Amino acid sequence: MNDNVTAEVTQLDIEGMTCASCVARVERALSKLPGVTEANVNFATHQATVTHAHEVTPEIMGEAVDKAGYVAKPISNIHAGHSPDEHAAHMAAETAEQVKAMRLNLFLATALTVPTFLISMFWHPRPEVVNWLLFALATPVIFYFGRQFYASTWRSLKHLSTTMDTLVAMGTSAAWAYSVYGLIRYAGHSHMQSEHIYFETGAVIVCLILLGKYLEASAKTRMSSAIQQLMGLVPTTATRINCDGKEEVVPLDLLKPGDRLRLRPGERVAVDGIVIDGDTYIDESMLTGEPLAARKTAGEAVTGGTVNQNGSVTYEAKSVGADTMLAQIVKMVQRAQGSKAPMQKLADRVSAVFVPLVILVAILTAGISLASGLGFDQALIRAVAVLVTACPCALGLATPTALMVGTGRGAELGILVKDGEALERAGSVTTVLLDKTGTITEGKPRVTDVVALREESEDRVLQLAASLENLSEHPVARAVVLAAEERKLALLPADDFTAIEGTGVKGAVEGKRLLIASPKYSAESVATQSPEVIAQVLILRQAGKTTFILSDDQGPLGGLAVADVVGKNSREAVEKLHAMGIATIMVTGDNAATAAVIAKQVGIETVEAGVLPDGKAKIVAKYQASGGVAMVGDGINDAPALAQADLGIAMGSGTHIAMETAGITILRSDLRGVPLSISLSKATLSTIRWNLFWAFAYNVVMIPLAAVGLLSPMLAAGAMAFSSVSVIANSLRLKRFAM
C-alpha cells in the first residue's frame, strides 16, 4: 500500500469462531486482501481489527471472511455515528442474551444426560428396551443441543478446513454411530448389546463441553466489566436550552457542538464543554483521581461523565458522541483489548496446525490399538478420548483474556494501555526518563514564600500584590491571586494598571503606586533597595524559585517567590521505581541549578538539563543503548521523545495526541501511575506466560494419556472444558491487581 495514503481502521464482529485455529484462518483471509496492511483477530472478543486502504470496503472484507467459513459484521455499520460506549452497551446486551440462551441449552441437555449416564453406569445387565431408551435420550443431546458443533464442522468442511468443533463432532458422532451399530447388530441379545453401547459417552461429552463454553462465556462478561463501568458514567439525557431560553430534556444522540446545556446539582456532565455561566464544584476523580472536587467557573472546561456537586451552571457543548473524552477512553480500552501481544505468535503458529495433527494422532491411536489386539471397542474409546481432550481453545484464550482483564483493570486505575505491544514493552523497561514540568512538578506556578518588610505583615504584602496582579492574565499573576484567595484575603480596588513585558506589572492600589517586578528591574527603578530583601531573594533563587519584589515609592514592601512545586506523590513514585530496579533520569529544558533542586527533592541523581524539545529524542536514543527506555511527558511537547522511546507514557490530561503518541496514557496527574503501569504490565505478562504454559502443558500431558487408554472420553471432555475455564479464571485474578 502507498505510504502516502492514510490508512483506515475497521473493526468487525466475527461469528462462527470456535478455537484459535479459526483466528488464524480469519486473519489469513483478511490479510490476503490487496490494500490490507494488518489484520488482528481476538478470540476472546470475537472481533477483528483491520488496517487497510480506503478502497477496501467492509463489504469486501465481509466476503473474504465468508469464503473462509465465517460471518463478519462491521461494527461501524451496526451503530453508525454512535460512540464506542453505545456499541459496547449493545454488545453487552447481546452477550447477556447469548449467555441466557446457552444456560437454557445446557439445562435441557443436562436433564437428558443425567439419566442416560446413571442408567449406563449402574444398570447391568439391562433389557434391550432400555438401550433403545438410551438412544432416545442421547440422540437429541448430541445432535440438537450439540448442533453448534456439527454446524461449525460442516461450514469448515465446505472450505476444506478443521476446527475444535471438528474434533468434538468426530468424537461424539463416532461414539453414537458405534452404539447404533451395536443396537442393530446385537438385537435380541441384550447382554452383548449393552457391552457395545456408548450413548452416554457422546451425551456426557456434549454436556461437559456446553458447560465449559457456558462458564467461559459467563467469565468473559466479567472481563469486560471495566468498559461497563465506564459506560455507566454517561447519562442518557441532557437538559438543552433552546434559542428562546426554554429548557428541554433530550437524548444524548441529539446533541451537537454549540448547544447550550443546563447542569444541576447531582447531575453528571453529559458531554465535554465549556462553562459559560455559573459557579460550581465538579467531582473529576474518574479522570484525575483527586478526591476533592474542582471549582468550575465561566471559561473552564468540563468533561462528560464527571459529577456536578452543589452549583448550577450553563455550559456549551464542544465534543459530543464519539468525540468526547470518555468515548475516546472507551475506544482506547477496546482497542487494547482487541490487540495482540507479540508473545502470542507462538500460540498462533501451533494453533494453525493443531486440529489436523490431533486427527492424525487419533487415527494412529486407533490403528495401533487394533494392531496390538485390543479390539475395536478399546480402539474407538482411545481415539475418541484423543479427539475430545485436545484443546486449542486454551491456547487461543491465553493471551487475549489476560490482555482484556489487565487493560480493563488499568482503565479502572486511570491507566490507558494502547495495545498488547505497549504492554510487552513496558515489562522490559530498565530506565525511565522523566520530564520535569507537569510530570515531576504540578506544571503550574504557586506562591511558595512571602517576605514582609517595613513592619508590613505577610498577609498585607500578599493582599496588595494580588490586588494588582488580579488585572493580569499571566500564569504567575494567577498564582499570586490564588494564594490570596487560599488565605481568604479580600482583593482591593486597583487601577492605572500597566504590564511591563517580561518583567512585571505596575499600577495603583488604594491610591498607592505599586510595582511588582524582578529584583534586577526593581533595583534599577526604586530609589532605595533593602540589603535584607537582596539576601532573602538570593536564598530563594538558589532554591530554584522565581522571585519578585513588591515596592512603593519609598522602596521595597516585601518579596514573593513563585515556583512550579513538586507533585505531592512524585518522590514516592521515584522511590517505587528504584525499588523495582528501574533507573530514573530527569530531562528538562530548565537550567541545571533549578533542575538539580527539583531532582534532589524527589531523589533523582541523574539530570539532563537545558534540553530543548527536539533534543529530548536524542537523549532517549542515548539511554536506549543500555536497555529498554520509557519516556514520561505530557504527550504534546514531548511527542518526538515519546515516539522515540521503547515506551511512551503520557501524563495528565489524556489529550487525543497523548493517546495516539504514547503507548500508555495516565489520566491522573499523579506520577505514581508510572510505577503502577509498569507493575501492572509485568503482572499481565506473567499471567499470559503462565496461561500459555498451562495450555501447552495440558495438551502435552493429556493427549498421550488419552492415547494409551488412561483417560476415558468423559474425563477427557471434562478436562478439556476445565482447561479453558482455568485460563480465564487465572486471567480474572488481574481484576484484583494493586501495587
Active-site annotation, residues: 435
DSSP string across 343-394: THHHHHHHHHHHHHHHHHHHHHHHHHHHHTT--HHHHHHHHHHHHHH--HHH
How far, in Å, CA of 140 to CA of 116, rounded? 12
User: What is the 3 state secondary structure string of 563-603?
Assistant: EEEECCCHHHHHHHHHHCCCEEEEECCCCHHHHHHHHHHHC
Provide the 10 A C-beta neighbour count for residue 373: 7
How far, in Å, CA of 253 to CA of 258, rounded? 14
How far, in Å, CA of 150 to CA of 165, rounded? 7
How far, in Å, CA of 621 to CA of 527, rounded? 53
644-428-619 Cα angle (round to 5) = 30
Q: Which residues pair with 315 in a beta bridge?
A: 261, 275
Residue reference for cell 428541554 = 248
Q: Would you state the cell numbers that stand for residue 698, as one nine-digit string?
A: 495440558
Beta carbons of 248 and 242 less than 8 angstroms apart: yes
Beta carbons of 72 and 13 less than 8 angstroms apart: yes
What b/e sequence results for 99-135 when a residue is b if at least 16 CB atoms lie within 10 Å of its CB, and e otherwise? eeebeebbeebbebbeebbebbeeeeebebebbebbb
How far, in Å, CA of 111 to CA of 210, rounded? 13
Beta carbons of 354 and 395 less than 8 angstroms apart: yes
Beta carbons of 231 and 330 less than 8 angstroms apart: yes
355-357-361 Cα angle (round to 5) = 115
Phi then psi dihedrals of residue 633, to 5 deg: -150, -165
Beta carbons of 162 and 355 less than 8 angstroms apart: yes
Single-letter code of the amino acid located at 487: R
Single-letter code of the amino acid located at 393: C
Beta carbons of 407 and 423 less than 8 angstroms apart: yes
How far, in Å, CA of 331 to CA of 88, rounded? 9
Residue reference for cell 447404533 = 180
How far, in Å, CA of 574 to CA of 577, rounded? 5
Strands 628-633 and 647-651: parallel
Q: Is 5 exposed, middle or buried (0-12, 13-18, 19+ CB in 10 A)?
A: exposed
Task: Reduce the DSSP state of residue 641 to 3 states and report it.
Answer: helix
Q: Is 293 exposed, middle or buried (0-12, 13-18, 19+ CB in 10 A)?
A: middle
- Nearest in space to 659 (alpha carbons), one of 405, 413, 344, 326: 326
Q: In what order do the strands lie in the sheet with 272-278?
A: 247-251, 237-241, 260-263, 313-319, 272-278, 301-302
**Helix pair angle (376-389, 199-223), 10° resolution:** 10
Residue reference for cell 488419552 = 706
